[in-house]
Amino acid sequence: MQLVKRIEIFANYVELGKILEALDKAGVPGHTVIKDVAGKGSRGSLGDDLAMTMLDNVYIIAFFPPEKLPLVEVNVRQILNKFGGTGFISDAMELEITKCVG
């Protein structure tokens, strides 16, 4: 197993492109985006009652090498501070698997 960092971001759909670009510039190798998320946290509710897709919320999760942390943090923080949203960074372990070619 290999130590990696995990970033989880909740933001408005409109900011998705900016966030993904920031992750890419920081050297994050990939990501997953889940659209139309709803919930409630310490900063209030992320509603699912909005009719327009452009106002939907997204959940972004990505894993990256620990040495990329300073750049990821700076890049993502700038966007969240300017446009809103919230982010979490934590430790994770990547399972080493053998890829089967079939």
Q: Where are the domains of the chain?
A: 2-94
Rg (CA), the chain: 15
CATH 3.30.365.10 fits 2-94, yes or no: no
Q: What is the pLDDT of residues 54-98, one digit of tens each?
A: 568 999 999 999 999 999 999 999 999 999 999 999 999 999 888
Mean pLDDT for the stretch of residues 10-28: 96
User: Which of 9, 22, 17, 6 minimizes the C-alpha distance to 59?
Assistant: 9
Rounded to two decimals, the pTM is 0.82
Give the number of other CB atoms < 10 A from CB of residue 69. 14
Terminal Cα-to-Cα distance of the chain (whole angstroms): 24
Share of the chain above pLDDT 70, in %: 83
